[in-house]
Each structure stands twice: as C-alpha cells, then as structure tokens.
Amino acid sequence: MNGASGELRRVEDTLANLPAPVRLILFIQTFECDTCPAARRILNEVARLSPQITVDEYNLVLDREKASEFGIERVPALAFVGKADTGIRFYGVPEGYELASLIDAIRLTAAGQADLLPESQALVASVDRPMHVQVFVTPT
Amino acid sequence: MSLALRMAIANPNIKVSIVEATEFPELVRRYQISGVPKTVVDDRVEILGALPEEMFVPQVVQAASDA
C-alpha cells in the first residue's frame, strides 16, 4: 500500500510541475478492443492531475483522417504532442510499470528537451532520415 | 525505453513506438518477440534487453546508417 501511494505521490509531483502544455491524442475503437476502456480511464485519471494535460479522443474507425495524420493503425494508441508532434506513440494500456513510462513521456514532451549525454546528443542529431524505433515491453 | 523517448524528443526524424507486447500478439509474431524489452529499428535491426545509454544510442543510430 505504501509503495503504491509513494508511486502516486511521485506521479503527482511530476505532473504538477509540467512547464508547458501536453496534448495526449488517444485513439480507440468501440468494438473489438477489450483494453480501450482501460486506456481511456488511465489517461483521464492522469490528465486530472495537471491543468497542462489535455486528452483528445478519436475513434480509429470513424476518424480515419486523424488516424492517418498520426499514423495510427491499431488501438488503443496514444500520440504525444507538445509544441509539435513528438513522434512518440504508445500502443496498449499504460499500466503497471508502463505507467512510469507514460509519465516520463509526458514530462519529456512538456520539457521539449531530451537530456541526453553530450556524445549521445551529437549522434542522435546526425540521423538525417526518417527512422522508426519500436520498443516492445510488458506491464509486469 | 526512456532512452528511445529521449531520442524522439531530440530529433524529429526519429519516431518511437512503445508497444505493450501482450496486447498485440500479431506484432509479437511478426517481430519474434520472446523477451522484453526488445527494440526493433526500422523493422530490421534488433536490440535485446535494457542497455545503458552509451551502448543503446550508438546501436540505434548505427542501424540507421546501415540502411
């Protein structure tokens, strides 16, 4: 119980100090998506913790233009938009350990700064063509 | 995966998708995911496990230059 409330406190502290607005673009669909309601619930709970966070919800089936704009093909999906689209997407329900990743992505989106080591920063800046990095994770 | 997120923030050419594996079995099959975390760069290059920054970032960037 203490662990869970400690985690919640860290989440609240991080979200209470966001330096800039973050838009979370959630894509769901009404049918054949068992996990979409859970994704929506978690996002709305997180958004309540900061006035800087807004959640825009779209339906993958009905809002095809929006899905295409963000390159979304499966749900639940989440796109992170700060001053511009960050190119970060989450697929699935961000719960368990993945909740920490969600908060991290929100914090980075608001900050707009990567905080990489200087040598990493230079390497990353050298990527001059589109690149897609997929990271497979599990919540437990 | 925080490192991958940071790379996306640092360079708009880099798109990063975090995929909850158990919810997307078709992707698990396609990319032959048998353990996590597993990073797949441009559908071709695989990085297994959680690596420190000084190893992860060069491996991902190297994947881009090998294309």
Q: Look up residue A28 and give its DSSP letter.
A: E
Question: Chain centroid to CA B6: how far?
Answer: 12
In total, the C-beta contacts within 8 angstroms joining chain A to chain B are 164
Over residues A4-22, the pLDDT tens digits come to 677 778 888 999 999 999 9
Domain ranges of chain A: 2-125
Q: Tokens 């441009």 correspond to what residue?
A: B42
- Whole-angstrom distance between the N-terminal and C-terminal Cα of chain A? 17
CB contact under 8 A, A133 and B28: no
CB B35 within 8 A of CB A107: no
Instruction: Domain of residue B45: give its range.
Output: 2-66
pLDDT band of residue A1 (cuts 50, 70, 90) is very low
As given in the structure block, the two tokens for residue A13 are 């502290």
CATH of the domain at B42: 3.40.30.10
Number of domains in chain B: 1
Instruction: Identify the CATH number of the domain defined by range A2-125.
Output: 3.40.30.10
Indicate the residue of B37, B42, B57 with minimum beta-carbon distance to A123. B57
Between A4 and A65, residue with greater pLDDT: A65
Q: Tokens 């925080």 correspond to what residue?
A: B2
ipTM above 0.85, yes or no: yes
Picking from B6, B39, B55 by the largest number of A CB atoms within 10 A of its own CB, the best residue to mutate is B6
